[in-house]
């Protein structure tokens, strides 16, 4: 994963830009969900021959002409992307046509944009094996950015430090040296979990800030009281509970500095079904039966083999192989986030290890909805037509060896927005 980098030239351009022209910050974000097309590495990416997933946004425009700082906000936390801006449309077969950012935006770059001109933002996963999840790109400059990907974020994530601000000494400051601080609260989050922080104006390009979170109003005389987690500099994360009041404190890192600050605080991502959940699952209340899942992330599809029994024990009948009461159903369908909606099939009329096709073709005999709440728990709702039977049962895995991969593929920030 690449670090956020600012070249000497980038820093110089920022310092030479009048402060008043940096009054507007815009956050654009969306989600890689597995349905994306892939193309060869675009300019500014890591290169190589492997195809990488990309998204092409709808047209965006800026409200004022000028230089804009463009930052990959999830460069460290989340889906790392290379951002490219095109004047007009994007043609993956001719990725240099209409390209405004010849080297792409690998971390952060200044880009000159003109009001009223239609642009296209293209984001491509940076040198990664395919990972689902949210990406976020910010624009800071003289005007706002209008796009279908624009996210409304809390007003307190941006501001200005000045000599009228109070001063406190905390983990964010030098020993024995205080720094300005601003406090926002009480704030409550709607979803419990890990929240991800990124300082957009890092490395003193405007004000390099540090953030602290408290579970009660900030007491500058006792800055360790009620502190939640650790101070966050440049990027970090903090675990928050829903229904709890929190107070966000931001300070210039080290010592007081006048100027603008801007950060992104993103909620935890919604849980998503991923290939890590492939394998055997069962309901502890019904031993001797269960399901086997296979998951195709690149198509957002799931296959299920349901190993179960007849509704009642057979009165008569024999089996040359196996047991007369065995029933094997299959299911297949689309995955959408944490839910898969599957058609249930029954194949009949076949013979063991025979090349002849079954006498009775595979037919749909019902439907099932498979939903996962996390890497270790799921549920199945089923409705069969012949015979008419429906129900629900819980799922647990046969083993937990998949958890590390599952958490890697599903943890991370969701799209920035209201908390």
Give per-residue pLDDT as tens, 133-163.
999 999 999 999 999 999 999 999 999 999 9
Yes or no: say if 193 and 411 are a contact pair by the CB < 8 Å rule.
no
- Looking at the chain, the whole-number percentage of residues with pLDDT higher than 70 is 88
Three-class secondary structure of residue 148 per DSSP = coil
SS3 letters across 165-199: CCEECCCCECCCCCEECEEEEEECECCCEEEEEEE
Q: 19 pLDDT exceeds 50? A: no
Quick one: tokens of 239? 């675990």
When mean pLDDT is compared across 54-63, 199-208, 258-267, the lowest value belongs to: 199-208
Higher-pLDDT residue of 186, 21: 186
Quick one: tokens of 199? 């300082």
Task: Note the pLDDT of residue 346.
Answer: 87
Residue with tokens 């946004």: 57
Task: Note the pLDDT of residue 3.
Answer: 43
Domain edges within the chain: 8-151, 157-266, 279-401
DSSP 286: S
When mean pLDDT is compared across 8-22, 149-163, 236-250, 299-313, the lowest value belongs to: 8-22
- Please work out, in degrees rounded to the nearest 5, the angle formed at the alpha carbon of residue 214 by the alpha carbons of 210 and 217: 115
Topology given in CATH for the domain delimited by 8-151: Jelly Rolls (2.60.120)
Task: Note the pLDDT of residue 205.
Answer: 64
Q: What DSSP string describes 130-171?
A: ---EEEEEEEEESS-EE-TTEE---GGGEEEE-TTS-EE--T
Q: 325 pLDDT exceeds 60? A: no
362: left (phi over 0), alpha (psi -120 to 50) or beta: beta
- Do domains 8-151 and 157-266 share one topology? The answer is yes
Mean pLDDT across the stretch 160-184? Answer: 94
Residue with tokens 């009949």: 348
The Cα 300–Cα 337 span in angstroms is: 9
Yes or no: say if 173 and 251 are a contact pair by the CB < 8 Å rule.
yes
Mean pLDDT across the stretch 328-333? Answer: 92
Q: 356 pLDDT exceeds 50? A: yes
- Residues making up the chain, counted from first to last: 419
Residue with tokens 């998503």: 272
157-266 under CATH 2.20.110, yes or no: no
Three-class secondary structure of residue 410 per DSSP = helix
Mean pLDDT of the chain: 88
The Cα 43–Cα 82 span in angstroms is: 8
- Please work out, in degrees rounded to the nearest 5, the angle formed at the alpha carbon of residue 387 by the alpha carbons of 301 and 310: 85
Task: Note the pLDDT of residue 61.
Answer: 96
């Amino acid at each position: 994963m690449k670090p956020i980098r600012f070249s000497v030239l980038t820093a110089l351009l920022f310092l030479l830009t009048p402060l008043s022209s940096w009054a507007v910050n815009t956050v654009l974000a969306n989600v890689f969900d597995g349905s994306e097309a892939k193309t060869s590495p675009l300019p500014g990416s890591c290169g190589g021959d492997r195809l990488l997933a990309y998204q092409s946004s709808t047209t965006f425009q800026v409200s004022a002409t000028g230089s804009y700082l463009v930052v990959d906000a999830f460069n460290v936390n989340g889906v790392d992307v290379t951002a490219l801006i095109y004047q007009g449309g994007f043609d993956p077969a001719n990725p240099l046509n209409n390209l405004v950012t010849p080297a792409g935006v690998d971390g952060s770059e200044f880009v000159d944009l003109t009001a009223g001109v239609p642009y296209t933002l293209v984001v491509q996963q940076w040198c990664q094996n395919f990972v689902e999840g949210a990406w976020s790109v910010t624009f800071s400059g003289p005007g706002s950015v209008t796009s279908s990907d624009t996210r409304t974020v809390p007003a307190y994530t941006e501001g200005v430090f000045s000599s009228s601000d109070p001063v406190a000494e905390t983990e964010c400051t030098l020993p024995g040296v205080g720094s300005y601080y601003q406090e926002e609260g009480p704030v409550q989050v709607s979803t419990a979990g890990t929240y991800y922080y990124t300082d957009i104006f890092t490395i003193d390009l405007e004000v390099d800030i540090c953030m602290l979170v408290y579970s009660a109003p900030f007491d500058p005389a006792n800055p360790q009281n009620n502190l939640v987690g650790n101070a966050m500099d440049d990027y970090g994360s903090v675990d928050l509970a829903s229904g709890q009041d929190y107070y966000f404190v931001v300070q210039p890192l080290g010592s007081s500095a006048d100027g603008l600050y801007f950060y992104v605080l993103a909620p935890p991502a919604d849980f998503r079904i991923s290939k890590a959940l492939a394998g055997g699952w069962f309901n502890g209340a019904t031993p001797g039966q269960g399901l086997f899942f296979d998951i195709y992330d690149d198509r957002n599809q799931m296959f299920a083999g349901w190993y179960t029994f007849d509704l009642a024990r057979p009165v008569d009948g024999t089996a040359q192989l196996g047991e007369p009461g065995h029933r094997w159903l299959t299911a297949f369908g689309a995955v959408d986030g944490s839910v898969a909606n599957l058609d249930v099939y029954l194949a009949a009329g076949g013979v063991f290890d025979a090349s002849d096709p079954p006498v009775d073709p595979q037919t749909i005999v019902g439907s099932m909805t498979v939903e996962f709440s996390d890497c270790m728990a799921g549920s199945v709702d089923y409705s069969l037509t012949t015979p008419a039977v429906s129900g629900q049962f819980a799922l647990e895995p046969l083993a937990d060896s998949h958890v590390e991969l599952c958490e890697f593929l599903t943890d991370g920030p969701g799209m920035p927005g209201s908390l």
